[in-house]
Structure 1
Amino acid sequence: MKNRNYSLWALSWPIFIELFLQFLLGAADTFMVSEISDDAVAVVGFSHQLFNALTVLFTVIASGAGILIAQKLGARKEEDARSISIIALKTTVLIGAAVSVLLIALPGPIASLLQMPEELLPLARTYISIVGGSMILAAIMSTLSAAIRNTGNTRGPMYTAIGMNVVHIFLNYGFIYGAFGLPEWGLAGVAASTVVSRLLASALLVYMFLFAFERRIWWGDIKLWSRSLFREILRIGWPLGVYSGNWVLSQLVIFTFIGSLGAAQLAARTYMNTLESFCFLIGFSIALATQIRVAHLFGAGNTREAYKDAYKGLWIGQLVVIANSFIIFLFGSQALGLFTTDPQILAICAGLLGLNLLLQPGKMLNMTIADSLNAVGDTRFTMYVSTLSMWGVSVAVSYFFSIHLGYGLTAIYICMIADEYLRGFVCWLRWRSFKWASRAGSPELPAQGGAAAEA
């Protein structure tokens, strides 16, 4: 049996490095694209919301498979974990290929349908068709990263992120400025750089995946299929897909609201996304590591330890995100000045930095507890909560205040904050009740419920 380390520290620090490098990739994109124009920045930010929405189609499989892999390995069912990863990869490749064809064929109509401002459509067609065409690679990366990470090997995806960032930044610089003998392609070059870096990252992850389990994966395993295991993936995965889909689709709808407010508001939201990502990186890595640990412990039958681990991850994460929020509040204006000198955009962002102090602790609460519920298979509950809260509060209420009453981007942020705390509190009540353990038929339940386990 492979020696797998599931300690919170061993899992979280490589995830943090990987996420930090992904943040640098996004920040480098934003910084370099801002050299082209603020319109180009708005197109990139808007397009990524579209891509995030479409990735839900294959994260349904990837996320469900990842949790099941950790559970099966916790229960010492290595062959089942191996089979689940192969089945998930085959399925997501087919879905990713279909999405790629759609975005290559219809970039303009899709951008228009999503209320992209008219003056941004020419840039959007170029960027969406090129980057969207590589969604099959995004599907491969998502599935393999989830599979490899849930075996306890969080370093592999980290190394991949390092290589991907180096290549992407190098090619970005070359295509934007015409350096290293590369053509000066502007935004089209940034898109091409994304495709090349994804291709190389996918190749590296495939290599790691072949050796991720005790018995090596061979090309002949592509024929492997199990209806019962696929049903298990879907049982956990489809509510997870709806849960993730609620978030990305609601964010996409919110971006259409912001787009209707003007290009300056859209660019401001994109710049704030970059700052918020930095603020939440360590907290997010702790939440993901906690999910892997909880799934592994639950699969091994250690229900009480899994319960306590969620709180351990939550309190550590809260300390980190609160500290980071204050850093962003103090120095955010100076950081934004690196990206744009537009006084209107800077003024909009300055008004949102204080609200970020409230937003981040709510996100940490919601992320850690909801992910812990997902880790033990209680995915339908988080799906129901996300559906009601995201669409009822984050979308409907924000539309009423931001568009109908005219309070703009500030109202949208306030509604986002309310949504995070509402979901986090409801999920905490569910976690504390231990109903998730009863539904799963756990053999190890605390004698006096959640309060006793917390003590």
Structure 2
Amino acid sequence: MDKQNTKNLTLFAITWPIFIELLLHMLMGNADTLMLSQYSDNAVAAVGVGNQILSVVIVMFGFVAQGAAVLIAQNIGAEKPKTAGQIALNALSMNLIFSLVLSIALFIWAEPILALMDLPHELMDEGLAYMQIVGGLIFVQALIMTTGAILRSYGYTKDTMVVTIIMNIINVIGNYFVIFGPFGFPILGVEGVAYSTAISRFIGFIALVILLVKRTRGDLNFANLFRYEKNHVKSLLKIGVPSAGEQLSYNASQMVITYFVAQLGTIAITTKVYTQNIMMFIFLFSVAIGQGTQILIGHMIGAGKIEDAYVRALKSLRISIFISLATAGVIYLVAKPFLGIFTDNGSIIEAGTVLLLMTVVLEPGRAFNLIMISSLRSAGDVKFPVYIGILVMWGISVTFAWFFGIFLGLGLIGIWIGFIADEWLRGVLMLRRWKQRNWVRMSFVDKTNS
């Protein structure tokens, strides 16, 4: 590994490829939604509910990738490349085994899971096809997450960006063939989109593995892929499980809220899917800055540069709040034509416009969470965000969503009130935690020589 590659990293240098990569990942999901919207609104709703379930599953095997990202970054900062390499191998093999089990479970129990989500009967066939194909092959996404996290922790953010570009091109071409049926190709609808997604992910994973071998040749010995070191596995679980716990709690709470929305009908489900797809472009900046900040702070903590790490997080937060507020405001101004890209249903466009106005208030609060939780995690303070997350997500977000959205009959507006209260309260608590500096003595750097 080129040591200069990590020592000379700046926030901009490490974040812009992450931003492009995340943008393309979101475009892949939006490409499915946009192209399916030309096929049917019901197909969009079915895939939207399916993806809500799959996002929870992804978090369940994401705990290994999260743990690996923090541990590798800290050990690279401490100039322990061999230790970082062995942690990377342990993470890959652990996620392979775990994600295969989850993939099999999703394929077998796809229908009862969708029924549990109260998916409308008219959406069940399409939802089932999507869940069994994409869910049954979800282990490939687990491996993509892990290899991508490893490469980014080493500083090779451009590599993962290029692979994502390739995956998007393949996915869009595949979608075009299965939805529009050019040259006599059969129109396969949701099932075809599911196959296109799965194939593009598999090709992306192969490319990432090739790059991982090339970039870390001196640090990774693949003969040790299934040779576990107790201390590394313990550290992976110690930091990864709580990190994923915060995300798992969030996604589980979102599933409950989606259940509430399903009671409002298919139009409400579709409005939520379209609006949240647009919102992804708003908080994309904060996600990218958060991931870049996590890598930099991990390197700083490993190198013992505590004050630099403290200042870096606060600078990143200010940048993220400004960008998210400006982006949300601009998107609200063009909300109707933006929503019109997805649908010509007037009810969906009107409701979505109101939700995007509320998003101008929501997104700066989300920026607090994305930046400060990433900073705390990279410093080793992984339990506090989970405790606060579980308390606030369920005590505020879910409770408010039910009270305002269902009980008071405000519908999606009530749901968004819950989102706003949740993000702002958690964000302020995370900032307070960072300023208290409890994280200073929580480093996970391996103390042995490497």
Bucket of the pairwise TM-score, normalised by the shorter protein: over 0.9
Measured against aligned partners, the alpha-carbon deviations of 1:333-352 in whole angstroms (never above 9, x if no partner) come to 11100110112211211211
2-structure distance, mates of 1:11, 1:97: 32
The corresponding residue for 1:299 is 302
- Map 1:107-186 onto structure 2 (within 5 A): 107-180=110-183, 182-186=185-189
- Map 1:218-257 onto structure 2 (within 5 A): 218-257=221-260
Is contact 2:302–2:443 with CA below 8 Å preserved after alignment?
A: no
C-alpha change, 1:371 and 1:129, in structure 2 (3 Å) is same
2:437 to 426, 434, 438: 434
2-structure distance, mates of 1:211, 1:308: 34
Is contact 2:379–2:442 with CA below 8 Å preserved after alignment?
A: no
Q: 1:244 offset after TM fit, Å?
A: 1.0
Q: 1:218 offset after TM fit, Å?
A: 4.7
2:55 partner amino acid: N
The corresponding residue for 1:451 is none
The corresponding residue for 2:197 is 194
Measured against aligned partners, the alpha-carbon deviations of 1:83-125 in whole angstroms (never above 9, x if no partner) come to 1111011111111111111121122111001111122111111
2-structure distance, mates of 1:322, 1:180: 45
Kindly indicate whether residue 361 of structure 2 is the aligned counterpart of residue 348 of structure 1. no
SS at match of 2:73: helix
1-structure distance, mates of 2:185, 2:149: 34
Kindly indicate whether residue 324 of structure 2 is the aligned counterpart of residue 321 of structure 1. yes
2-structure distance, mates of 1:144, 1:218: 15
Q: 1:404 offset after TM fit, Å?
A: 2.1
Q: 1:283 offset after TM fit, Å?
A: 2.3
Measured against aligned partners, the alpha-carbon deviations of 1:249-282 in whole angstroms (never above 9, x if no partner) come to 1111111111111110000010011110111222
Kindly indicate whether residue 400 of structure 2 is the aligned counterpart of residue 397 of structure 1. yes
The corresponding residue for 1:359 is 362
SS at match of 1:261: coil
2-structure distance, mates of 1:441, 1:356: 37
2-structure distance, mates of 1:56, 1:212: 26
The corresponding residue for 2:376 is 373
2-structure distance, mates of 1:441, 1:279: 33
SS at match of 1:367: helix
The corresponding residue for 1:4 is 5
Measured against aligned partners, the alpha-carbon deviations of 1:352-410 in whole angstroms (never above 9, x if no partner) come to 12101001101111110111001101000111110101111111221122122222111
1:28 to 13, 31, 36: 31
1:275 partner amino acid: I
2-structure distance, mates of 1:261, 1:355: 19
1:274 to 274, 277, 295: 277
C-alpha change, 1:80 and 1:180, in structure 2 (3 Å) is farther
SS at match of 2:225: helix
Q: 1:441 offset after TM fit, Å?
A: 10
Which 4+ residue blocks in structure 1 deviate beyond 3 angstroms? Answer: 216-219, 438-442
Q: TM-score, normalised by structure 2?
A: 0.96
1:285 to 285, 288, 312: 288
SS at match of 2:129: helix
2-structure distance, mates of 1:179, 1:63: 41
Measured against aligned partners, the alpha-carbon deviations of 1:177-202 in whole angstroms (never above 9, x if no partner) come to 11255321111110110011011001
- Map 1:53-68 onto structure 2 (within 5 A): 53-68=56-71
Is contact 2:167–2:200 with CA below 8 Å preserved after alignment?
A: yes
- Map 1:23-102 onto structure 2 (within 5 A): 23-102=26-105
The corresponding residue for 1:447 is none
1-structure distance, mates of 2:45, 2:226: 43
1-structure distance, mates of 2:66, 2:346: 41
The corresponding residue for 1:450 is none
C-alpha change, 1:438 and 1:71, in structure 2 (3 Å) is closer
Is contact 1:174–1:181 with CA below 8 Å preserved after alignment?
A: no
1-structure distance, mates of 2:237, 2:190: 38
SS at match of 1:225: coil
2:421 partner amino acid: A
Q: TM-score, normalised by structure 1?
A: 0.94
2-structure distance, mates of 1:107, 1:312: 44
- Equivalent pairs counted in the alignment come to 442
> Which stretch has the larger CA shift, 246-255 or 204-213?
204-213
Q: 1:439 offset after TM fit, Å?
A: 4.9
1:4 partner amino acid: N
Q: Unpaired segments of 5 or more residues in structure 1? A: 443-455
2-structure distance, mates of 1:47, 1:25: 15
1:142 partner amino acid: M
C-alpha change, 1:434 and 1:52, in structure 2 (3 Å) is same
1-structure distance, mates of 2:16, 2:353: 31
1-structure distance, mates of 2:335, 2:186: 34
The corresponding residue for 2:385 is 382
Q: 1:216 offset after TM fit, Å?
A: 5.4
1:159 partner amino acid: V
Q: CA RMSD in A?
A: 1.5
The corresponding residue for 1:104 is 107
